[in-house]
Amino acid sequence: MDILQNTNFFRAFTASALVPAIYIQQFWNTLTYEAKTGAYSFQLDETRFVLDANLLREALEITPIDQAHQFVSPPSGDAIMDFVNELGYTEVIHFVSRMAVNNLYQPWRAILSMINQCLTGKTSGHDRPRYPVLQMLWGIITSTNVDYAELMWEEFVQAIQTFLTDKANLGSPTKKGRKDKPHVIPYCRFTKLIICHLGRIHNIHQRSASLFHLAEEDLRLGNLKFVSKGEVDEVFGMPIPNELISNNIRNAPYYNAYLEMVAKHDQKVAAKKEGKKKTTRPVTQVNACYR
């Protein structure tokens, strides 16, 4: 969390809002896609709104484009895969489809898990991030001025499309013995922030008599599982770059614990390398020892 405070989209993963629960239902019930314009729209109270990356950027209060510091395009394809391998992964990977968040080393695994939770609501399991999420991680680690709103919008669209597809398939015949897939709305943190933002600038009835969706009902970061089943310690690979270590982090009690874990990991790696050297000695040397 302290590392993410260095970014301009920190609020997106920590803020919540108190909104009438009925508006969350109305948002997703009225959400439609217009193929001709390629735009999404939804209704709140009696007003219809356009849903796009700009609305998401405003609702999450992500720093807008600064003409003096234009956004930098993040790497993609092989370049982003090389970057992931440098971070520390249990094996060398070449395709995003082969990657699982659980196999990434800390603290990057924790950060990706947080991003996935806020975009999909998933708190455990074998998450397989897409390119936009890995590009967000690249921007965080390299402290690059990336347009996080655009990358988050790409992922948000995926959640929207899945929702609309599932909604369209409701009631369709399924294979014998197969249960209907549950139809649920995506994680509502962003939905609530969008509704709250529009409520501040438009005349939307507050419906004080309606039940409210409370901030306490949002999934908490404590639900995330950072250690795989059967593991005791978190696994660390690439050290956190000094640029991301603020004074608050250095003075925090957990920082020394982190350094100890990294040192332990380095010792294990060094021991393994030493063991491999011993097992690969020339045969003549081994025979000489026996003589």
Instruction: Specify whether 86 is located in the same domain as 145.
Output: yes
Long-range contacts of 197-200 (CB under 8 A, 24+ apart): 197/55, 197/58, 197/59, 198/44, 198/49, 198/59, 199/19, 199/44
Task: Out of 6-10, 72-76, 200-204, pick the least confident.
Answer: 6-10
- Domain count for the chain: 2
Alpha-carbon span 89 to 87, nearest angstrom: 7
Instruction: Specify whether 259 is located in the same domain as 220.
Output: no
Task: Out of 98-102, 187-191, 282-286, pick the least confident.
Answer: 282-286
Sign of CA dihedral 190, 192, 193, 194: positive
Instruction: Specify whether 192 is located in the same domain as 240.
Output: yes
Task: Out of 63-67, 68-72, 247-251, pick the least confident.
Answer: 63-67
The Cβ of residue 24 has, within 10 Å, a number of other Cβ atoms equal to 17
Instruction: Specify whether 34 is located in the same domain as 75.
Output: yes
Instruction: Specify whether 214 is located in the same domain as 262.
Output: no
Q: What is the pLDDT of residue 290?
A: 28
Task: Out of 99-113, 121-135, 250-264, pick the least confident.
Answer: 121-135
Who has greater pLDDT, 97 or 218?
97
Range of the domain at 274: 252-290
Q: What is the DSSP letter of 52?
A: S
Q: 3-state class of 166 per DSSP?
A: helix
* Residue 198 near residue 19, CB atoms below 8 Å: no
